[in-house]
Amino acid sequence: MADYNNKEIAVQFLKLVIAGEIDKAYNDYVDAKGKHHNTYFPAGFSVLKEGMKENHVQFPNKQFNIKNILGDGDLVATHSHLVFNEGEPGMIVFHLFRFQDNKIVEMWDCGQQIQADSPNKDGAF
């Protein structure tokens, strides 16, 4: 893992989570003593990890495509398209990771549902 930079670690983490390899994602890339800021779950990465596992059971075939990734020092931001069920427009998802010693020590995530009938002809991406 020493050869990875923070952007690569963020991408690998997200790919493993989407593939249902949540334990591996957390074991390889997360400092368990860190914190997340997802307001739907209590504090602690262990709770968020269990929520991700439940989500994978509910939506095992979800699709995830990172559209943009930015890095600035110990911070990495991803801008992605997440689709839970084929044929649906899905969501715009942003993740912000803070790294220390090649591990995620803090994470923010937020999403916006894409409206199929959006008046914005430029689209979500």
Q: Where are the domains of the chain?
A: 6-113
Question: Number of C-alpha atoms within 13 angstroms, CB side, residue 78?
Answer: 24
Q: What is the DSSP string of 79-111?
A: EEEEESSTTS--EEEEEEEEEETTEEEEEEEEE
Q: What is the pLDDT of residues 77-103, one digit of tens each?
A: 999 999 999 999 999 999 999 999 999
Nearest to 97, CA basis, from 64, 71, 68, 61: 71
| CATH 3.10.450.50 describes domain 6-113 | yes
What's the pLDDT tens digit per position in 34-69? 999 999 999 999 999 999 999 999 999 999 999 999
Of 33, 3, 22, the C-alpha closest to 100 is: 33
Residue 41, both tokens: 């779950």
Six-digit token pair at 58? 């509910």
Tell me the one-letter amino acid at 44. G
* Distances 98 to 13, 30, 44, 106, 115 between C-alpha atoms, Å: 13, 10, 15, 5, 30
Q: Is the pTM of this model over 0.95?
A: no
